[in-house]
Structure 1
Amino acid sequence: MSAERPEQPERPEQLERLAINQITVKGWSFEETVRGLARHGIGWLGAWVGPVEEYGPERAATLLRDHGIRVSSMCRAGFFTGKNPDGGGLDHDANRRAVELTAAIGGDVLYLVSGGVRDDLDLERSRATVVEGIAELVPYAASAGVRLAVEPLHPMMCAERSVTVTLDQALDVVEGFDPAHVGLAVDTYNVWWDPGLHASLARAAGRIIGYQVCDWLVPQPHPTFGRGLPGDGAIDLRSITRAVGAAGFDGPIEVEIFNEKVWAADPDDVLASVVAGFPRHVLP
């Protein structure tokens, strides 16, 4: 039996769509993150498989419910090419477990990372392998009520993380599946540079099921851990949010930051900065 639910702060209308991906407050445990979001009036969490597994999915579901926090997404599954910078390669059991954890905590969107170029360096075959891997996972995810979100990453990550590097490429994959089961994830860090971005977003109408934002710092401090808080960099986030909305997405907007300086800061200060800047820098 859960403890008495804490009183929830009133949430301003402009924060109704704000979600925080847990990696943004990496220094906090899962429980500290949920309590922190509630304290700052943030109603959505982008969860990660590892912390949920460690905390326990049943306990996590109860904690989220008790604090009025909904799950915007789960990160991550995939690596269908067998290339994973974290090691381990393709793990079918891990992908199915990610589906199970997503459903267990009340989520219905699981982000997929394609995987880098195969050891044989066959880029075309690597991309075909991604489609095959998604097709294999779809029935299991569909039976759990979980939608798979194909996320293109920035081209500089093609070799080790994702052979899917543009929205058009991701759409080519997504359009081969039932929209009830497979959709598109848009992350501003990965797509803002694309000269065909707005045309691709228009093409994506009805297929976007996840939207993440952060800024591109100048100069870039690190190819992976160089993301900035919204408003601190070179991306016109509001115009992208407007285009994503025009494509039919009106769900939670996740702030996802990989940055050593942000991780070293007090997470409460980070959340306060996000809350203050979200309406001005992200909302259209």
Structure 2
Amino acid sequence: MQTIDRLSLNQITTGKWNVREAVEGCVKADIPWISLWRHKVDEIGLNETKRLIQDAGLKVSSLCRGGMFPAATLAERQKRLDDNKRAVEEAAELGTDVLVLVSGPSPDKDIDSARQMVAEGIEKLVPFAEEYGIKLGIEPLHPMYAAERCVIVTMAEANAIAECYAPQQVGVVVDVFHVWWDHDLFHQIRRASGRILGFHVSDWIVPTPDLLMGRGMMGDGVIDIYKIRTAVEQAGYQGPIEVEIFNEEIWNRPGDEVLDEMKQRYLIHV
């Protein structure tokens, strides 16, 4: 029987809530895990966030996000690497061992060079992250995000980079919204065995209302979430399952109501 012991609130699902509200909401709903976003942490500070998490007895599944490596100049790429190092430090301080990497878009039309910048950025970040016990989770995003958010758009690309390192250094994050369409998905999940660092769930609504803000609650769309979850678990992943939904309509609802529905949908559809 499905339980909620692995359920994690990815903080962006309650986008209007601050850290304190998200923590209190999780406690009230008996949700044991939370995934934090850096801009939300910045609002109240790292120390206060850590205190709230610890006092509530929550576990942090991941920190979002690092990455955004490609840039037009060496100086800007170094600036972004430095920011990723700060993200590593923040993740360690908050008690998670996973930093999610959204790799970033190309600064120009040369997408191949941008992908190389991603690989180089990760290569430079790995030794620093290892010192802090932080694993880097490469999250491929749907191809529609390639121009604005992430030039790594398939599990195959993420696996190819991750395989350059030990599983305790670099792995992949499987987000059903971004990968459900991929004809090679289940082969690539098997390929990622032992290095899956996160599993994110939501749904793909038809018709799709918005490219960024159009994710649905599990069960409202076309993704066979359970099938993907089964494949991920067969590949060795038994960690927290994050509900990550970008949707203004959901954000505008009372957060406690969203969490209640999230739990119900998780039990039925995940």
CA distance in 2, matches of 1:163, 1:194: 16
1:265 aligned to which of 225, 230, 253: 253
CA distance in 1, matches of 2:187, 2:82: 37
1:238 aligned to which of 226, 234, 242: 226
CA distance in 1, matches of 2:164, 2:211: 31
Are 1:134 and 2:128 matched, yes or no?
no
CA distance in 2, matches of 1:100, 1:206: 24
Are 1:188 and 2:200 matched, yes or no?
no
Are 1:167 and 2:155 matched, yes or no?
yes
Counterpart of 2:65 in structure 1 is 76
Q: What is the SS of the residue equivalent to 2:49? A: helix
Counterpart of 1:54 in structure 2 is 43
The unaligned stretches of length 5 or more in structure 2 are none
Q: What is the SS of the residue equivalent to 1:235? A: coil
Conserved? CA contact 2:106–2:114, under 8 Å: yes
Counterpart of 1:276 in structure 2 is 264
Alignment of 1:95-110 (within 5 A): 95-110=84-99
Point out the more displaced range, 50-59 or 131-140: 50-59
Relative to the length of structure 2, the TM-score reads: 0.95
Counterpart of 1:23 in structure 2 is 12
Conserved? CA contact 1:53–1:101, under 8 Å: no
Q: What is the percent sequence identity of the aligned residues?
A: 45
- C-alpha displacement of 1:13: 6.8
Q: What is the SS of the residue equivalent to 1:131? A: helix
The count of corresponding residues between Structure 1 and Structure 2 is 266
Alpha-carbon RMSD: 1.5
Alignment of 1:118-157 (within 5 A): 118-119=107-108, 121-157=109-145
CA distance in 2, matches of 1:209, 1:140: 18
The unaligned stretches of length 5 or more in structure 1 are 1-11
Relative to the length of structure 1, the TM-score reads: 0.91
Aligned residue type for 1:150:
I
Aligned residue type for 2:264:
A
Aligned residue type for 1:92:
L
- Greater than 4 Å deviation, 4+ residue runs: none
1:250 aligned to which of 238, 254, 258: 238
